[in-house]
Amino acid sequence: MTVTRKEAEAAADQVPGSGLSARLYEPFLWLGEKAGFWRWRQRLVSGVSGSVIEIGAGTGLNLPFYPSGLERLVLVEPEVHKAKVLGKKTPPAGVNPEIIRAPGESLPFEDDTFDTVILTLVL
């Protein structure tokens, strides 16, 4: 059964988080990024096409790597503070993401809506 967007956002409101955790997220990952983790994410994300959903988009670390010309890019982040940081990021030219607040188990989409599902740094 597909949930509505309103139901998905209500479920997302139950996800713990804080403005502080959202601000510290990228600095916390700095060492891994410096060691080259970004290359792995770039290789994964830059090859997608069609309609794409990223579950657990966080603060948007993958956003710069999405190619232009996607049919649709949906970035799902349940935590409100991370979603706000994500919403302030500037996507690459030709990339027009739609940001949805929803937990991964309550996505407001029908089956077979997306060609590719991306999950990185998701627990």
Neighbour order of strands in the sheet with 116-118:
97-100, 72-76, 51-55, 116-118
Q: What is the pLDDT of residues 75-96, one digit of tens each?
A: 999 999 999 999 999 999 999 9
Q: Which two tokens stand for residue 92?
A: 């690459």
Give the pLDDT of residue 1.
64
Q: What is the pLDDT of residues 33-77, one digit of tens each?
A: 999 999 999 999 999 999 999 999 999 999 999 999 999 999 999
Residues 6+ apart with CB under 8 A from 85: 22, 23, 25, 59, 60
* Model confidence band, residue 121 (pLDDT cutoffs 50, 70, 90): confident
Q: Is residue 86 a contact partner of residue 17, using CB atoms and an 8 Å limit?
A: no
The domains found in the chain, sorted by start residue, are: 5-105+112-118 (3.40.50.150)
